[in-house]
Structure 1
Amino acid sequence: MLLLVALSTGACGQKPTGKELTMTAYDRMLSVLYKQTVPTVRPASLATTLRQAPTSVLLLDTRTPAEYQVSHLQGAQLVDFDSFKATDFQDVPRTRPVVVYCSVGARSEQVGAQLRALGFQNVQNLYGGIFQWVNDGLPVYNSQGVTTKVHPYSVLWRPWLKSGTAAYE
């Protein structure tokens, strides 16, 4: 809770200016979490790319299998953060565009950095993760098709999911 308060106030009594005035609390939280090791792509931009050329991007969901089963982006491949292996990507051309995502983008940024270290030249992290995707009104899927359910990772992260239905199983 202290982190939320700190993120929603100005630093040391300084008056916010410029970009800080237009940042949401979610944006401020992400600016603390992200290490800037992988460039981000906004959900609307990725959605446009996927509509125009659905197979042009390798989408990697870096959450757990339980999170993935609840919902994921259409066409995304599960790459479990806890058991990520570089050897799984031996046959993927290093020039293929890759977008990684998780709940909010912290775990996926770490996987993205590992992919860049493996020589992948075009890796992006979905800004705000699946939460921002759903909050922006974009669809997610499960084995039955379109769903409104999203696994919120934990009860602490649940407040950042403003749209959709939180589901832990």
Structure 2
Amino acid sequence: MNHINKFGFALFLLLPVLLFGQFTLTLIEKKIEHDHPIPNISADSLLQQLQSSGADFLLLDTRKPDEFNQSHLQNAVRVDPDISEKKFWAQFGELARNKELVFYCSVGKRSSIIAEKLLHSEFADSVSQIYNLRGGIFRWFNSGFTVVNDSGATDSVHPFDRYWGQLLEKRD
């Protein structure tokens, strides 16, 4: 095989992993962290801290209503992803006071935008910390952690669209 054929073959083997595998979610996480240099919290770390007695978190889901209604993290509050800083603090300021805020969406892009905006706002010092959930609800779900809807625990997460939905792992 010449160099071009070897490269083409390697690309052929790697393409499905790059497009559809867990590796892709990791790449997306890294890209988001590069584009939005804010504190991130991993799904494992968040779960561990939520289960500890001293945890005082406010989970904020920045997805659309249909995404949130299909499933979300337990006790999460939905926030319009296009909310202004002023409106956010007016609506959630008291609820958020002195808490650690964790924003999430499907993979972390929409939530990182709002978290970054609020992190640099004049009211940011009224909360303990502002985080973006690395990998969003997709990483949470793929880690085997519970998501809920109005009926309780569910094995369903809104895929956002056909492409992004391929990042979700099926549960048995």
TM surpasses 0.5? yes
Query: Bigger CA drift: 27-36 or 72-81?
Result: 27-36
- Contact 2:49–2:55 (CA<8 Å) still a contact in 1? no
Tell me the TM-score normalised to structure 2 length: 0.75
1:28 alignment counterpart: 27
Q: What's the C-alpha RMSD, in Å, of the aligned pairs?
A: 2.5
What is the aligned counterpart of 2:112 among 109, 125, 130? 109
2:40 alignment counterpart: 40
What runs of 5+ residues in structure 1 fail to find an aligned partner?
A: 9-22
Q: What SS does structure 2 have at the residue aligned with 1:130?
A: helix
Letter in 1 for 2:165: R
CA distance in 1, matches of 2:96, 2:159: 32
Q: Percent identity?
A: 35
Aligned residues: 147
- Contact 1:42–1:126 (CA<8 Å) still a contact in 2? yes
Q: Deviations over 1:102-145 (max 9, x none)?
A: 00000000111122123245111111000000000000000000
Tell me the TM-score normalised to structure 1 length: 0.77
- Determine which structure has the larger helix proportion and give its number: 2
The structure whose RCO (Cα within 8 Å, separation 6+) is larger is 2
> How far off its partner does 1:91 sit?
2.1
Query: Measured at CA, do residues 70 and 36 of structure 1 come closer, stay the same or move farther in structure 2, by a change above 3 Å?
Result: same
1:98 alignment counterpart: 101
Q: Which has the larger radius of gyration?
A: 2
> How far off its partner does 1:67 sit?
0.4
- What pairs with 1:25-104 in structure 2 (closer than 5 Å)? 25-34=24-33, 35-53=35-53, 56-83=56-83, 85-86=87-88, 87-92=90-95, 94-104=97-107
Q: What SS does structure 1 have at the residue aligned with 2:82?
A: helix
